[in-house]
Every structure is written in C-alpha cells, then in structure tokens.
Amino acid sequence: MPRIIQIQNDFTSGELDPKLRARTDISQYSSGLATAKNVAVQPQGGAKRRDGTQFITQLDSGAANAVRMVSFEFSVSDSYMLVFTPGRMYVFKNKVLQTNINGSGNDYLAVSALTSSILPEMNWVQSADTVIVVHQDLAPLKIVRGASDSTWTASNLSFTYVPKHAYTLSATTGSSFNTGVSHDHLEVSSTSGNLTVTAKHSGSDANLFTSSAAANGYVGQYINVTPFGRLRIVRKVSDAKLECFAEVPLFDTSNIDDANWEIEEGYEDVWSSSRGYPRSVTFHEGRLYFGGTKGRPSTIFGSRVSDFFNFDPGEALDDASVEATLDTGTFNAIVDMYSGRHLQIFTTGGEFYAPQTLDDPITPSNLIVKAQTAFGMKPGIRVQNVDGSTLFIQRQGKALQEFVFSDSVQAYTSTKISLLSSHLLRSPGEMAVRVATSTDEGDRLMIVNDDDGSIACYTLLRSQNVIAPSQWTTDGSFINIGVDVDDIYVVTKRTVNSASVYYVEAFDPDIFVDCAKTGTGSASSTTVAHLQGKAVKIIRDGIIEPEQTVGASPHTITFAVAASSSFQVGLNFTPTIKTLPVEPNLASGSLKGFKKRIFEINAELFETQAMSINDKEIAFRSFGTNILDSDVDEFTGIKTLNGVLGYSYDGQLTITQSVPLKMTVLGVEYKVSAGQ
C-alpha cells in the first residue's frame, strides 16, 4: 500500500470544467480546482475569501423588468455609477446615492425614453460630460452632467447632417423638377468649390420647384448627367438654383441640354423612426462612429473629424464623414464597436476591423473593413478590454472569446478564454472588468449569469498566463454588475418578507458579509430594515457574535457587548475550495480505481482567522489569558490536520469557512495512502 505526498502549490487555473476530470495530462490540472466558490484567485497563486458587499439603496419596482449600469468618469476626482431602471436613472458617487436631482426632490432623473425593452440592448459611449445612448428603436440620446453631482439632463441628439440612403429609388429622365415649367437646359458654374446648377428657359432663370418645401426635399438627392457626371444636391440657393457637389466630375461643364440629365430620387435619412436608429456607438481617432440600424444593420457611419454630429460627406476630403458596409455573404448585424489599436466591429455573425497603414488615419478614400473571425457576439453584453485584448461573449452565450491582434500574422485571432471553464457560463447577461490596482491582484473579469444569478469571476494576468475562474453566489441573485474605476457595483435580487426586492450594493474588501451595514462604536444597529426577517451574521470588533434574526420595526440588532470600534451586520456566504481528485504520476502507473485515504494535510495560509478542512474545524486560538472577548489573530504559516479518516476513490480536500472572517489559502500538501 503506497504512501504518496501530493503538493498543490497554487490555484491559478481556478475551477475546471467537470469534463476535464480525466485530463491529468494537461498542466492546468495540477493548479486547478474542482470547486472554487466565493473565493477570488490571486495572481500569486492563492485563493482568498471574496469581498463582501455593502448595502447602498433599494431600487424601484421597475428593476424587476430591466436594469443597466453605466460607469461615468467625469474627472480624476469625480466618477459615477449610473444605474438605469425603466424610465429612471440613479446616480451613485463613492458608493453614495445622489439625491434631490436637479432640485426636483427625486433621487433619480426621469428618462422616459429608456423603457424596459430598450435597456437590455442599449449601447453607449462617454466623452467629457456627456454619455451618448443608442438603440435601434431609440432616437440617439445624450445625458449630460451639469455643474454639480446632482445636476443631470437628458435630451435627444441634434445632428447637423444625417447620412442618406436610397431605400426606394426613382429617376425622371430629361425632365424638370417642376413639371409645370419647361427648361431649355441647365447652366453650370463653379462656386466655392461646388457647382451651381441653374435651370434656364428662353435665356432666363426658371423655377425648379413648385414650393420651397418641395425644394428642401431634394437636398441629398442626385442629378445624373450624360455622358457622365453625378452631382449631389447640397442646398437650394434659390427657386432656380441648386448648389451641388460633383461626386463624379462632369464630362463638360457647358450647358446641359434638357434631355441629357435626370433627377435621381429616393434618398432619405438613414436614422428615423421608420428606418431605425444606430445600434452601437464609439469614438475613434476624432470621429463619432455609429454602427448598424434596422434598415442598414451592417453599415458603420463615421462623423466629420472633430464635428461629431455632422455626417455630411461633403467633397470626400480627408476630414469628411465616412461610411462602409460589411458585405461578406452572411448576415452581420453590428452590435458593438471598440476603439483600440484599430476600430474593431463586432456583429452577430463575426468580428471585423478597419485596417490602417502605417498608423494613417481613416479617411473616405482608404476606409475598408476586413472580416477576421466568425464566432459572432451576443447582443446587449458590451465588449471589455483587458491588457490589450478585447473580450466578448459568443453569440449563443456559451463561450468567452478573446479578440487580439497577432503581429506575426498581421491579423486578429479569437480564442476561447472559457475553454476549461465553460460550465461557469450560464446564460450570461452582463460583463464588467475591474483593472488591477496593486500587485496583490490581477484584472477581474466578472460575468453575471441570468440562469442562476451567479457571477463567473475570472482573475486574468496575461503576462503570467493566469486565467483563474471562480464562482460567486449570494443569498438571492446577482442581476447586473458595473465598475466605477475600482469600485464594483452590483444589483441584487433578494427575497425579504416573502417579496422580491432589488438592491444596489458594492463590493468592499473590508466587509465579510453580503448586503451589509457597518458602523463604529455602538451597542446596536438600527440600519438593517432592508434585511427584515433574515438571519444575519454579526461581526463586532472582529469578534463573531451569535446569529440574530432582524425583527419588525424598529429592526434593531442589539449586540451582546457594545462595539468599541466597528461592527458589520449582513448575510453570510460560504467560501469553498475543493481540490481535484489526486492523480500522482507514479512509475507503477495511475491510481485510478484505487481507494485512497488522506491521512495528513498541511495547508499554507496567509492572514487567516478561520477555516475547516473536510468538515474538521482548524484551531486558530491557543489556551491562555485574555483570549475571550478579543478578535482572532491573523495566522500566516502552515496548519496541520492529522487523523483524517475514510477511504474514497477520489481523494479530495474540501476547504470551507463557517464564519465570516479572513481566509487565504496559498497551497496545500497532503499525504495519501492508496491500496486495493
């Protein structure tokens, strides 16, 4: 009966898909876990109890239909989390709800256009004090921060020029605009770089239009000239004159006979209530880009340079507006865009980018869009950038993809970040990234699952090839998530007094329970009405007090001993770390099919106060004086557990924690006895 020492130095592969149980040949097996629940994997290799959440406020009942979170960074010192429910926008700064918005007495800004059908797939971009919000059924909206934290306005965008497209095309050959007036010819002259076309009859100017209203309707239409020449009507100069831009230069600028021209009609605004509005938006190199409408789902539109609301193609100079359509033979509805190394375009059918040679800017003459990969993106979940790569949820919601430029092939490639942990993606509904703020943590990519209300949290550190997923759960469901610089906000759905309520909460590294209220020196807490009827954990001066249930009004929790410095009251959650089945590489072969017993465990800990291994509580106090009514010392070092009984075919360790205190496991060593 051999005795084996098994060592797991780190957990940097996180929780692995159960379908990988037999893959002992891959390197990730030795650093992976069967379960990583309510822990965050650190880039150094350890697994730490996840942060608890601080209760901030309760949302209105509309949150049951839709919720969306938008980060807004106004300046280095002023950043906000905007939380939208149907018809309302709440503003949070430094985890505090801003009240009396615009002096109205309300804690929200009314935005009636943002309905429950708009919010799930709305798209947005921020510049300075303005957020631009778009959706295919919404006239583009701007939300502007005013002179203070509580001053905000919402209104429709006003465009100088809207691009046009011929949805229905018609042409009248060799005739006139106004059929009641005959024309001998069109006289062409040059004015300010454009051409002026004047209708002539018997040597005099002849009216082109039956009315001024009719004249305005021809702006944006075209005049085609034989043998060749194509003029876009820019504006009406008078009832007899039009200013035009020659998209195709005229063969001859002399007078054009009545029979040698035609008016080409049918061009209308691309964005309208009948044709739909932009579905996605971003800024890129001095232009505002819109992507996809109902009528033109695969087209991107770029504004004039530094003139964001003007999409006039003008004379097609370098600073004029740009336009391109993704024609690939498959349906590609644009759902998001990202301004990175290039302008990246994500559609339901594939991923594209606009190449730029030698870092030259995009212009009307060089804009092309190239297809790269064909995974497709799930609408409504914004792409996120982590360390130079763009992450998106695949169209069916089954995979997390990484879209990154490869210098070796001079193209973008897309790989599956979630290949080894696809079981953690359960109908993803939202995604957010918190960039690492210290060397003790990696970038955190957090995905909220609509299926079970869990969060799939990925610790990412590309330089060290760390991709470490874990699963976060709570008493209730996580509904939405957003990051304001380094503050992680969540909207949770909880059941309180047999009713569903929706709370805004924020993760806090100093809090060990969920939906918590905290305070300083006090004999009781009267701030937990939001948890009425719930059994709550109490941490008073670092000491765990007996659990209590929050009663009816006045909802007071009285401590056994008055808190001298601090207290936390909230809902408990249980972190769980479970190792994969022990599979040492022995000269005699595999141990599969052999029963195993772990008879000694050595856990390497860092600043830990409580922990259980295989349901056995580990001691963190020693007998002596002054041990009562004092908090547990933080322990760093090795804790040993002997005398573990029971054989199994797997030989796994399960590390949990029954009380909300600090816990960080750096690694484990365990001795295994195996036999027939």
Residues 409-425 have pLDDT tens digits of: 889 999 999 999 999 99
Query: Cα separation of 550 and 547, whole Å?
Result: 10
Instruction: Say what the pLDDT of residue 178 is.
Output: 57
Per residue in 228-246, pLDDT (tens digit) is 899 988 888 888 888 988 8
**Range with top average pLDDT, 183-192, 457-466, 588-597, 667-676:** 457-466
Confidence of residue 565 (pLDDT cuts 50, 70, 90): very high
Q: Which of 131-135, 255-259, 342-346 has the lowest mean pLDDT?
A: 255-259
Q: Which of 169-178, 554-563, 658-667 has the lowest mean pLDDT?
A: 169-178
Instruction: Say what the pLDDT of residue 33 is.
Output: 96
Whether residue 494 has pLDDT greater than 70: yes
- Of the chain, the percentage scoring pLDDT greater than 90 comes to 66
- State how far the alpha carbon of 658 is from the alpha carbons of 27, 544, 615, 664, in Å: 32, 11, 10, 14
Query: Cα separation of 481 and 488, whole Å?
Result: 7
Residue 391, token pair as written in the block: 């992450």
Query: Cα separation of 207 and 201, whole Å?
Result: 9
Cβ pair 289, 343 in contact under 8 A: yes
Instruction: Say what the pLDDT of residue 52 is.
Output: 97
Q: What is the DSSP letter of 75?
A: S
Whether residue 175 has pLDDT greater than 60: no
Per-residue pLDDT, averaged over 473-491, amounts to 97
What b/e readout covers 514-540, taking b as 16+ CB neighbours within 10 angstroms?
A: bbbbbbeebeebebbebbeebebbbbb
Q: Which of 89-98, 463-472, 532-541, 586-595 has the lowest mean pLDDT?
A: 586-595
Per-residue pLDDT, averaged over 623-652, amounts to 79
Per residue in 10-69, pLDDT (tens digit) is 999 999 999 998 888 898 999 999 999 999 999 999 999 999 999 999 999 999 999 999
Which one has a higher pLDDT value, 441 or 332? 332
Instruction: Say what the pLDDT of residue 184 is.
Output: 79
Query: Cα separation of 48 and 611, whole Å?
Result: 12
Average pLDDT of the residues of the chain:
90
Per-residue pLDDT, averaged over 554-583, amounts to 93
Per the DSSP assignment, residues forming a β-bridge with 135 are 138
What b/e readout covers 482-512, taking b as 16+ CB neighbours within 10 angstroms?
A: bbbeebbbbbbbbebeeeebbbbbbbbeebb
Whether residue 213 has pLDDT greater than 70: no
Instruction: Say what the pLDDT of residue 16 is.
Output: 96
Confidence of residue 212 (pLDDT cuts 50, 70, 90): low
Per residue in 150-166, pLDDT (tens digit) is 999 999 999 999 999 98
Confidence of residue 627 (pLDDT cuts 50, 70, 90): low
Look up the CATH number of domain 164-269. 2.40.30
Per-residue pLDDT, averaged over 569-582, amounts to 95
Instruction: Say what the pLDDT of residue 368 is.
Output: 93
Please list, in sequence order, all residues whose beta carbon lies within 8 angstroms of the beta carbon of residue 505, skipping any fewer than 6 positions away: 53, 54, 55, 56, 489, 490, 491, 492, 514, 515
Give the dihedral sign, CA 312/313/315/320: positive
Instruction: Say what the pLDDT of residue 648 is.
Output: 80
pTM over 0.85: yes
Instruction: Say what the pLDDT of residue 554 is.
Output: 84
Instruction: Say what the pLDDT of residue 181 is.
Output: 59
Listed residue (546, 529, 549, 503) closest to 53, CA to CA: 503
Whether residue 174 has pLDDT greater than 60: no
A 10 A CB-CB count for 332 gives 25
Domain limits of the chain?
3-49+575-675, 164-269, 514-571
Confidence of residue 635 (pLDDT cuts 50, 70, 90): very high
Per residue in 509-541, pLDDT (tens digit) is 999 999 999 999 899 998 999 999 999 999 999
